Structure 1
Amino acid sequence: MSRSTQPQTSSLKIYFRLLAYVKPYIGLFLVSILGFLIFASTQPMLGYVLKFFVDGLNNPDASFFASVPYLNEFSWLEGLKLLQAVPLLIVLIALLQGIGSFFGNYFLAKVSLGLVHDMRVALFNNLLVLPNRYFDSHNSGHLISRITYNVTMVTGAATDAIKVVAREGMTVIFLFITLLLMNWKLTLVMLAILPVIGLMVSSASKKFRKQSKKIQVAMGDVTHVASETIQGYRVVRSFGGEAYEQERFYKASSDNRQKQLRMVKTNAVYTPSLQLVIYGAMAVLMFLVLLLRGDASPGELVAYITLAGLLPKPIRQLSEVSSTIQKGVAGAESIFEQLDEKLEADNGTQERTKVVGRLDVRNLSFRYEGSDKAVLDNISFAAEPGQMVALVGRSGSGKSTLANLIPRFYHHDQGQILLDDLDVEDYKLRNLRKHIALVTQHVTLFNDTVRNNIAYGDLADASIENVRCASESAYAAEFIEQMPQGYDTHVGENGVLLSGGQRQRLAIARALLKDAPLLILDEATSALDTESERHIQAALDEVMKGRTTLVIAHRLSTIEKADLILVMDKGRIVERGTHTELLALNGYYARLHERDFVEPMEPSVQGADT
């Protein structure tokens, strides 16, 4: 296959895959096509009525149906004059056209909106099962733009384009058939321009698709910048970043505008060029009509010219649909690229109703995909149920990566992580995560009520009594009960209406409600004030009983109570022991202790996690 034909074949393959989403709506789709068929059939009817009108100018009292043999038996029709029939026919044709237009547009709109809904749901549901590495390499703005902007472009190709193809295509067919019946020799002259039109459409299609891809990327940049600025508005205002963000958004929006203008320019040159070709053919046709009129009546000639004059508009619209289709194909390409992405691997076959929480890490090494740097290097330790293991060390030492490997946010291929003597890779994914409660420094809350944020996901059926109990254990009940609607109070986007300490306590209450045998605390009390931390520490002391607890870079008061402290540096365990034993070594941990863990912790990112 040559390079020139590969993109066309690819476009066709993508478009047919896109049309497969119309299958659930095939009944509605066929009704809309029937409507457009009715609409298209009325176009030559209106033009042909002019024949009777012009011929009737000389004799308006002539019988309309006199020349139609099979209507002779209807005496009342024989008496119908042109004076009465022409206006009546125009009204009837307009009524038929309106009915066809309604059925075509309304039912295709139902198909289109259903398609938008289905594709957005498919994309969103797909996001929920993609691996973490996908989110590491794709920014949220482009993902959101794909669900909003790209889907709209795609459905335009799948429905709006089909609307034009069906309605205008059938209009062209009906007009050509009528013209062929009226004068086939003249009509063949018009067919000579079709290869020229085809060449122009093919050339423009390639440009439209290339430009559409660039527009979609630029639109993703606009969404990304806006999303980041809205989410980080406090930082923007605190550090005087308004001018910087204005400039960043201006550049992204300007880039999008320039790419949109290029598309408009291509279309603006293409449409009149095509129109010039079509009307050039019309000029030749009119010359031939005047030259070769023969014995045709004035009415027939006027009707023929009128019908031929109706052709440019649907032909132009058919040619312009290439732009819509190529936009949709470009959008569909990015959508199918996400839908074809490998889902979060779940090769586990084992399920356990309950585990005691024995954690055993053996010779664990890990590096991120595409990186040669080992983030974890030969890590080994064990924790019995009820024990607390603390991970301490500088930023980038691998602590959070280790925590992310246990619930399989990333997959290890060297060494083992055993939960109750079964490798975490052998558990079914949902079953594994059911046994693990995770509280991180970066709390995620949803724009919902306090109760729904605590009793989230699998915990949604928890009773209000259990929610209150978890809140009391996390020392969150005291501020929740003072809120206007108590547990039914909305917390705002990501808990914006709460303080940092309150948000953290809700996250801990959520973990307590889960009542999992393995608890992972990743900087879980970093956002708490001294008073809140004192309350939380008492709750954590209680909740850690009978549970394996992995604490990452926790505050010193918790570190001192750990059964085992692992000191990490550059992905390796450099010291291990209890607080007292490590202080006696007067080594790495002792130096950290002197600084009281004041070194700032950086967020976990690929290749540089905490």
Structure 2
Amino acid sequence: MALNKTEQRKQKSNWRGFLRLLMGANPPKLLLSIALGLSVIATVVSLVIPLFTKNVVDNFSLSSVSWWQVSGMALAFVTSAVASGVSTYLLNYAGQRVVAGIRDRLWKKLLVLPVRYYDNHGTGDTISRMTNDTAIIKGLIAEHTAGFITGMISIIGSVVVLLFMDWKMTLIMFSIFPIAFLILFPLGMQMYKVSKGLQAETASFTSVLNRVLSEIRLVKAANAEPVEYKEGSDGIQKLFKFGLKEGRIQALMSPLIMFVMLMLFVVLFGYGGTRVASGAITAGQLVAFMLYLFQIVMPITQITQFFTQTQKAMGATDTILKVLDHEEEDPHAGVAVKDASQSLHFEHVNFGYKEDEAVLKDVSFTMEAGKVTAIVGPSGSGKTTMFSLLERFYAQQSGEIRLGAEPIDQYSLVSWRSQIGYVSQESPLIAGTIRDNICYGLQHEVSEEALKRASEMAYANAFIEELPQKYDTEVGERGIKLSGGQRQRIAIARALLRDPKILMLDEATSSLDSKSEVVVQQALQNLMQGRTTLVIAHRLSTVVDADQIVFLDKGVVTGRGTHQELIESHEMYREFAAQQLQIQEQLIAEHSPVYAQ
């Protein structure tokens, strides 16, 4: 009994959530009212048709047929058809409007969810919320809601008329429905469980597809096709099994509904025939009775489909609301940054992606305004995490990061992030043109002169002008049509165009060949002039030139100073410098003909 109460509470909660989701999408209420009103008119008119038929059968002769009867039946048919057609179109329109509203809310929400949300949710799973789940809700509104409402009106109207015509036959008919309900209800509950499982598995399979297809070059380079085929095939088989379960339930439901219909027809024809023979009812009444029976039985199929789709929609609503109710960032909350040309201070900063796993421990140092600070240390020491905290992708668990005297979390995200330029080892590009990528994220129109000036300072203009379509050249997905050096220079041009006061460089030349590195280093020198710069350093050349070096080991700052100061005082830094010097000598020896030229 407790389980039943729990299920009932869950059902009520699902319905409340569904209604909240619909209201949040701002459905066209007037349009929906008109559509449902027309559906009701079409149904009510169709209830009159069997009464015309009764009179025609009971008084069948050419002389007894009057034009007003023929005209009335024709008008009833036409009215029902037109009202039904217009209603279907309006409901589809309303359904599309609602799903567009839900998708708009979802899309807006996805853009303001914190980075931590995406750390814990697969891309494919999130895409499934936007596409598959919203389509299920649209199907319920556009295709099944009208059928349910008109079906209920048809059933109630037909039952009322039948009770007036012959209450005994009507009661016999109703004696069969409880049996059908006892059989079909458990099947409906099973369909709900299968539908939820199918939705979850579809989202998981979409996630696999998204991951594999977006990194198809890695898959091929690693000869991972067999591994990925097996994972994808497993997903297909799981979907297949869920589909079979759904098919088995439907295979049971359809014959059972047919069995109920046939049983009704046999019983009513047998009993009705005896009543016609005894003169209790006329042949016309029996025909009308059977026509009304059709108007009861046929909507039952629609109502069954409505409840099946409703169960799917409840599952979809649950997953969509989890996204919509998730804590979000407010990009405009806070004050604007007035002067970003100030020193940045890390003061006793502690942070971990999980509560019990610290990545940064009591980190304190100052980035002097307009100077270069290099972060050095072994892999996994927390260097990239510092960048994430500065970008405010995450909030430190304790301590403070200040710009001048003010904590950075008092500034709005929009204002704060507009002060920062970030160039990484693998500078991301969007699918689009070179112009789209350089101007990406800017809210104002960029003049051709400003675009070319930024490109020239980034040493990108030369190669762009050689391309057939110049700035309108398509870069491909993730910039795959460009070389690594070209992508880096476009990223630097993008940063220059934003004119940031704070610059973060994740050693943007470490993955380039020597020729590209020289050009990109020159572009970076242009970018760094007069800006507060934080560099994740992997190469000695970057470290030697830095105004300050911070050595980070396992999340702890173990040394601060210039290159010479750390060489003299920090053992691990001396090892780092010696390794870098050895690597540099090897590269010079390997490429000596190149340098000689």
Structure 1 position 358, deviation (Å): 1.3
Separation of aligned partners in 2, 1:209 and 1:157: 14
1:163 aligns with 2:165: no
Match of 1:471 among 441, 448, 455: 455
| 1:460 CA displacement | 4.3
Q: Structure 2: how far apart are the matches of 1:187 and 1:331?
A: 39
Summarize the Cα distance change of 1:538–1:391 in structure 2 as closer, same or farther, 3 Å threshold.
same
- Conserved 8 A contact 2:201-2:235: yes
CA apart distance, 1:274: 3.7
Q: Which stretch has the larger CA shift, 461-470 or 17-26?
A: 17-26
Q: Which amino acid aligns with 2:238?
A: D
Q: Within the alignment, does 1:391 sit opposite 2:375 as a pair?
A: yes
Q: Do 1:504 and 1:528's aligned partners in 2 also have CA atoms closer than 8 Å?
A: no
Equivalent residues in 2 for 1:31-430, closer than 5 Å: 31-57=34-60, 59-62=61-64, 64=66, 80=67, 85-86=69-70, 88-200=71-183, 202-293=185-276, 294-344=279-329, 349-369=334-354, 371-430=355-414
Q: 1:14 to 1:260 in 2, by over 3 A?
A: farther
Q: Which amino acid aligns with 2:362?
A: N
Q: Does the C-alpha gap of structure 1 residues 597 and 246 become closer, same or farther in structure 2, counting only changes over 3 Å?
A: farther
Cα distance in 2 between the residues matched to 1:443 and 1:347: 26
Query: Which deviations, in whole Å up to 9, do the C-alpha atoms of 1:406-442 show, x marking residues without a partner?
Result: 1210011311100122111111221211211122223
Report the Cα offset of residue 288 of structure 1.
Answer: 3.0
In structure 2, distance between residues paired with 1:7 and 1:203: 17
Could you list the per-position Cα deviations for residues 564-607 of structure 1 after superposition, in whole angstroms to 9, with x for gaps in the alignment?
111111111122221222223462122222332999xxxxxxxx
Equivalent AA in structure 2 for residue 336 of structure 1: L
Shift of 1:139: 0.7
Superposed CA offset, 1:309-340 (max 9, x none): 33211112212211101111101100001000
- The answer to whether the 8 A contact 1:357-1:420 is kept is yes
CA contact (8 A) 1:164 1:321 kept: yes
Matched, 1:567 2:570: no
Tell me the amino acid that sits aligned with residue 32 of structure 2: F
**1:556 is aligned to 2:556:** no
Deviation of the 1:348 alpha carbon: 5.7
Cα pair 1:436 1:516 within 8 Å, conserved = yes
Cα deviations across residues 247-300 of structure 1 (Å, max 9, x unaligned)? 221111111121122122222213332443354344333333233344422222
Summarize the Cα distance change of 1:189–1:14 in structure 2 as closer, same or farther, 3 Å threshold: farther
**TM-score of the superposed pair, with normalisation by structure 1:** 0.89
RMSD between aligned residues: 2.3
Q: Which amino acid aligns with 2:80?
A: Q
3-state SS in 2 of match to 1:50: helix
C-alpha distance in structure 2 between counterparts of 1:356 and 1:47, whole Å: 84
The alpha-carbon distance between structure 1 residues 464 and 598, as it changes in their structure 2 partners (threshold 3 A), is farther
State the alpha-carbon separation in 2 of the partners of residues 360 and 50 from structure 1: 89
Task: Please identify runs of 4+ aligned residues in structure 1 that moved more than 4 A.
Answer: 193-202, 345-348
Which ranges in structure 1 are unaligned for 5 or more consecutive residues? 65-79, 600-610
1:23 CA displacement? 4.3
Does residue 1:20 correspond to 2:3, yes or no?
no
How big is each residue's C-alpha offset from its partner over 1:475-495, in whole Å with a ceiling of 9 and x where there is no partner?
111111112221122212221
**Change in 2 beyond 3 A, CA 1:444/1:181:** farther
Are residues 476 and 586 of structure 1, via their aligned partners in 2, closer, same or farther at CA, if it must alter by over 3 Å? same
| Shift, 1:227, TM fit | 1.2
Q: State the secondary structure of the residue aligned to 1:596.
A: helix
Match status 1:505 vs 2:489 = yes
Tell me how far apart the structure 2 counterparts of residues 35 and 61 of structure 1 sit (CA, whole Å).
36
Query: In the alignment, residue 35 of structure 1 is paired with which amino acid?
Result: L
Moved more, 356-365 or 520-529: 520-529
* SS of the residue 1:160 aligns to: helix
**Separation (CA, whole Å) in 1 of partners of 2:217 and 2:269:** 70
- Supply the distance in 2 between the matched residues of 1:261 and 1:500 (Cα, whole angstroms): 48
TM-score by length of 2: 0.91
Q: How far does residue 463 in structure 1 lie from its aligned partner after superposition?
A: 1.6
Query: Whose helix proportion is higher, 1 or 2?
Result: 2
Q: Deviations over 1:98-144 (max 9, x none)?
A: 20122111111111111221111211111111111110000101011
**Structure 2 CA distance for aligned equivalents of residues 122 and 93 of structure 1:** 43
Structure 2: which 5+ residue stretches go unaligned? 584-597
CA distance in 2, matches of 1:481, 1:31: 59
Q: Is the 8 A contact 1:525 1:555 kept in 2?
A: no
Residue 482 and residue 200 in structure 1: after superposition, are their counterparts in 2 closer, same or farther (change >3 A)? farther
Q: Distance in 1 between matches of 2:402 and 2:572?
A: 28
Instruction: Give a deviation string over 1:171-199, Cα, whole Å, max 9, x none.
Output: 22332233233223322333344544554
Counterpart amino acid of residue 338 in structure 2 = T
1:454 aligns with 2:457: no
